[in-house]
Amino acid sequence: MEETYLLNVEGVKKKILHGGQGELPKLEDGSKITFHFQTLKDDFERTVIDDSREAGIPMEIIVGKMFKMEIWETLLSSMRIGEVAEFWCDAIHTGMYALVSRGMRRIAEGRDPLEGQKHRCGMGNMLDYHSTGYDDLDELQRTPQPLIFIMELFRVEEPSAYKRDTWAMNKEEKLAAVPVLHSEGNRLVLRKEFAQAAAKYQEAVICLRNLQAKEKPWEEGWLKLESLVTPLVLNYCQCQLELGEYYEVLEHTTELLQKHKDNAKAYFKRAKAHAAVWNEQKAREDFLQVAHLDPSMAAAVKKELKQLGERMRKKHVEDRKRYQGLFRPPQGP
């Protein structure tokens, strides 16, 4: 089908490439829309900028959650399930595309889409975005231009029909989800399912960090959220110790101690991670700091130091034997 439609929106044209089925879905706040998309430049070559099929995962947006590309909700609301359509959008609708694409690319690369953002006013954050980290997106950001979106609509789900991801929740829903995730993580730890437990703790931390980003650091609201984050991070680190991810424990505990220098549990977990990777001196320093901050943990520290000493002596003996073997003169025939 090659007929072009106007959607009663200035600067938008639609061309249906493959007809869909049924009536137009009803969209309401909280509805989840699942679709594939391709973004093209409006040039002679129709240069491809992004293609969700390359990532292998369809795009999902939640209606009413202030997705930066507001025009996408309008485009998708004109489609039937199974429909494939091409939309031409003037530059008045595409100015935010570079930032949207940047976030989606980072997610596809397994990176934090908010990496590099700072707690600043809107104008300050605009200055932080002087470069997206991608040359083609920097060009779009400098010179907004018309873009072509080819979309295939798969499904529209009502808010009650699916389990909402935490990122799609509002503040109250996220706060309510945190203790549930914490409890689920604890239950999984009792079953020694440490990887699954770590994922629950991590999801709860992400909820709280998202809320913290809207608070001013070190003020009352931020501190209340931080008090909830700290035990979750410690539980996450304990799971990583059990899983042998010692360098990740070092990273997270060090970050925690930069803000909470008197947290004995963080020192204890970092000490155990140092010991596991043979950082004897740093492990001893952290263990002694634990005993200083929390005398009730002195017995546990004494036990850990004894085990550390035995492991290091054993390692030195093994190393000495290995080096002697390396430098022993060869035997004659």
Examine the domain organization and report whether 220 and 119 are in the same domain.
Answer: no
**Domain assignment of residue 188, given as a range:** 171-324
Q: What letters, b where the CB count within 10 A reaches 16 and e where it falls short, cover 48-66?
A: ebbebeeeeebbebbbeee
50 contacts: CB under 8 Å, gap ≥ 6:
37, 38, 39, 101, 104, 105
Q: Quick one: residue 90, left, alpha or beta (phi over 0 = left, psi -120 to 50 = alpha)?
A: beta
The predicted model gives 174-199 an average pLDDT of: 92
Asked if 176 and 307 sit in the same domain, the reply is yes
Region 48-72: what's the mean pLDDT?
84
85/175: higher pLDDT: 85
Residues 29 and 51 in one domain: yes
**Any idea what the CATH number is for the domain that residue 57 is in?**
3.10.50.40
Q: Which residue(s) pair with 16 in the sheet?
A: 85
Q: Are residues 299 and 187 in the same domain?
A: yes
| CA proximity to 232, closest of 188, 183, 173, 196 | 183
Domain co-membership, 124 together with 200: no
Written as six digits, the tokens of 331 are 């035997």
- From 157, 191, 215, give the residue that closes a domain: 157
Specify whether 126 is located in the same domain as 35.
yes
- The enclosing domain of 229 has a CATH number of 1.25.40.10
Of 167, 203, 161, 151, nearest to 34 by C-alpha is 151
Residue-wise pLDDT tens digits, 103-146: 888 877 765 545 544 444 433 443 344 677 888 899 888 888 99
CA count, 13 A, side-chain hemisphere, 14: 22
Whether the pTM exceeds 0.85: the reply is no
Cα–Cα nearest to 36, from 1, 61, 13, 12: 61
Q: Looking up tokens 């209340």, which residue turns up?
A: 224
282 shares a domain with 177: yes
Helix (H, G, I), strand (E, B) or coil at 202: helix
- In the listed set 157, 187, 218, which residue is the last one of a domain according to the structure? 157
- Of 73-82, 134-143, 252-261, 314-323, the one with minimum mean pLDDT is 314-323
Nearest to 19 by CA among 82, 75, 73: 82
Question: Residue 193, Cβ neighbours under 10 Å: how many?
Answer: 15
Give me the pLDDT at residue 163, please: 57
Nearest to 153 by CA among 52, 267, 288, 8: 52
**The predicted structure's pLDDT at residue 205:** 92
Domain boundary among 157, 185, 220: 157
Q: Is 251 helix (H, G, I), strand (E, B) or coil?
A: helix
Length of the chain measured in residues:
333
* Residues 117 and 182 occupy one common structural domain: no
Domain count, the chain: 2
Same domain, 69 and 42: yes
